[in-house]
Structure 1
Amino acid sequence: MSLVACLVLLAPALFILRQAREASAAPMPEPEGVVPMLSHDERMRRVTYQHTCSKQTDCEAPLVCYHDVRFRTYCTDSACTTDSQCPEGQRCTTLAVPSAGARVRLCALVGPRQEGERCLETPFDAISACKAEFECAGRDGYCARPCTPGQPGTCSEGFFCADVKPKPSCLPTCEKRGCPQGERCIPFEEGTSICASIYGPNCLDTPCPDGRECRVFSQSDFPGKVWAECVHRCSATNPTCGEGQVCDGFHCLQACDPDGPNPCAEGFHCDRRSEQLPWSCQPDYWRGR
């Protein structure tokens, strides 16, 4: 009878201990909206795993169609859950996949970029990557720290808390503090603005002729610089460019001769991207592209 009584008393404790062991052995559930990291067998059972895709429906659940600037657009699950699962010099980063309304975790390089500097989510080399304490946030890509919208003081001076994906982040603004001499405050998407030197026609201050669109371009590997253009579209069937211009990549650009005097303005160079295209004055950020 004593043995039976002891077993009755121990049963609840043994049941709780067993549940705790099972819980610790089970994989932790992913936060809502984050694509899980599948096992090798689970990946192999999906025909579309790592296959090229153009839209979310090209991928089997729970894979998402992710555009990776390093490689291509392909179907993938999360590649990591912690930094320890990534190669040396990389970390496990949560990235937004707007087309799927989800987030995915991939290994990305850690680099030298400071808060507020332009960046790439998954760069080819570390030069365009953020320091470990920041993540690349916003559509234009800025190294940023997380923040809480509506909470005063959550971002330092020169930054504001933007409700962006994959999570609210402190993005740069120069509207109140102004810019150094020779630079101006350039507005971009999501309310961001940065101090930069402008190359090309300053169509932000002087409207483009003939109602053409003023476009401003920047690249993560050219911090503090932007290129402005009064976009003049053209094509092989409609090469209607002005005098002294050529049609290059659907843009009318100034023509140049690599063996003659350099007619290209500062921030531009004389080049051509293939033997089929003409020589033109191209923005410096086109180099190697």
Structure 2
Amino acid sequence: MASECEEDAHCFPGFTCRALKTGTSSTPIRRCVPVGERREGESCDADYISRTGACREGLRCIQQVCTVPCQLEAPAACPSGHTCTDDPDGPGCVPDCTKLGCPQGQQCKRFPEGNSRCLARVSGSCPETPCAEGERCMVDSSRGRGTFWCARVCNPLRPDSCPSDHVCGWAGGTRSACFRRCDHRDLDSCGPGWMCATVAEDLSQWGCTPSAFEP
């Protein structure tokens, strides 16, 4: 699939040009998607799913927060407590909750990549609590919710790099990690808060991942 736009002006009114994440380190493609309903500072879907989870016109969804655009060469243009952060959709002013705090009912949670974000629901204690040697902190988050857990780093070309009851799956970028093996015929076989889903780009491996439908 080829890109159909390079900037918002290339799309029809009511649509915006966004980079689609492909799950690999390859160059993202750009497509015209409908403008969303989320306001500045509200949580948003990292990938376009629907208008209700996307940002309004003129905003960019960076680190799952709707942000105003900025220029990396002029970071001082962002409000106090915000950082001009680069993104495939272009840089935006990302709020730093360690400086600004969070709305009532939310907590400032640190992410493995170093940034912090306000979340309404948090499960798991890494990376504040370090993972064991050979493990990395995994994250699954969307719309103000986040699940954090430690998983062993693995090599998809070496099946023995995971325990026998685990499978080696994609963990973002070019990284892989071990997931609990599960039965794809029973999506609830992983227990409360988890679901059985594909964890490999070729859809050949099934493992336990946080459930997106958990209330």
TM bucket (normalised to shorter chain) is 0.5 to 0.7
User: In structure 1, which of residues 238, 244, 252 is the aligned counterpart of residue 178 of structure 2?
Assistant: 252
Quick check: 2:179–2:208 contact (8 Å CA) kept in 1?
A: yes
Deviation at 1:181, TM superposition (A): 5.5
- 1:155 CA displacement: 2.5
What's 1:149 paired with?
Answer: 75
Equivalences for 1:1-289 in 2 at 5 Å? Answer: 72=1, 74=2, 78=6, 81=9, 86=12, 89-91=14-16, 93=17, 107-116=32-41, 117-120=43-46, 123-136=48-61, 138=62, 140=63, 142-147=65-70, 149-151=75-77, 154-155=78-79, 159-162=81-84, 164=86, 169-179=92-102, 180=104, 183-187=107-111, 192-196=115-119, 197-199=121-123, 201-218=124-141, 222-232=142-152, 233-235=154-156, 237-242=158-163, 245-249=165-169, 251-256=177-182, 263-266=190-193, 268-271=194-197, 276-278=204-206, 280-285=207-212
What is the DSSP-based 3-state SS (H/G/I as helix, E as strand, rest coil) of the residue aligned with 1:130? Answer: coil
Identity of aligned residues (%): 25
* Distance in structure 2 (CA, Å) of the matches to 1:259 and 1:113: 35
How much does 1:270 deviate? 3.4
Task: Report deviation, 1:215.
Answer: 3.4
Structure 1 residues 188 and 236: CA distance shift in structure 2, 3 A: closer
TM-score by length of 2: 0.62
Point out where structure 2 has 5 or more consecutive residues left out of the alignment.
20-25, 170-175
Q: How many Å separate the matches in 2 of 1:150 and 1:79? A: 24
Which string of whole-angstrom CA distances, capped at 9 and with x for unpartnered residues, describes residues 164-187 of structure 1? 366653212210243455744224
C-alpha distance in 1 between matches for 2:6 and 2:35? 18
Aligned-CA RMSD value: 4.3
Which structure is higher in helix share? 1
Shift of 1:145: 1.6
> Match of 1:15?
none
Runs (4+) off by over 6 Å: 258-261
The CA distance in 2 between the partners of 1:167 and 1:263, in whole Å, is: 38
Q: CA 1:160–1:177 in 2, change beyond 3 Å: closer, same or farther?
A: closer
Over 3 Å counting, the alpha-carbon distance change for 1:161 and 1:182 in structure 2 is: closer
Cα distance, 1:172–1:236 mapped onto 2, change above 3 Å: same
Gap runs ≥5 in structure 1: 1-71
SS at structure 2 position matched to 1:210 = coil
Q: Is the 8 A contact 1:79 1:107 kept in 2?
A: no
Are the counterparts in 1 of residues 3 and 31 from structure 2 also a CA contact under 8 Å? no
Is 1:212–1:231's contact at 8 Å kept on the other side of the alignment?
yes
TM-score if structure 1 supplies the norm length? 0.49
Q: Distance in 2 between matches of 1:262 and 1:217?
A: 19
Higher strand share: 2
Looking at CA atoms only, which structure, 1 or 2, has the larger radius of gyration?
Answer: 1
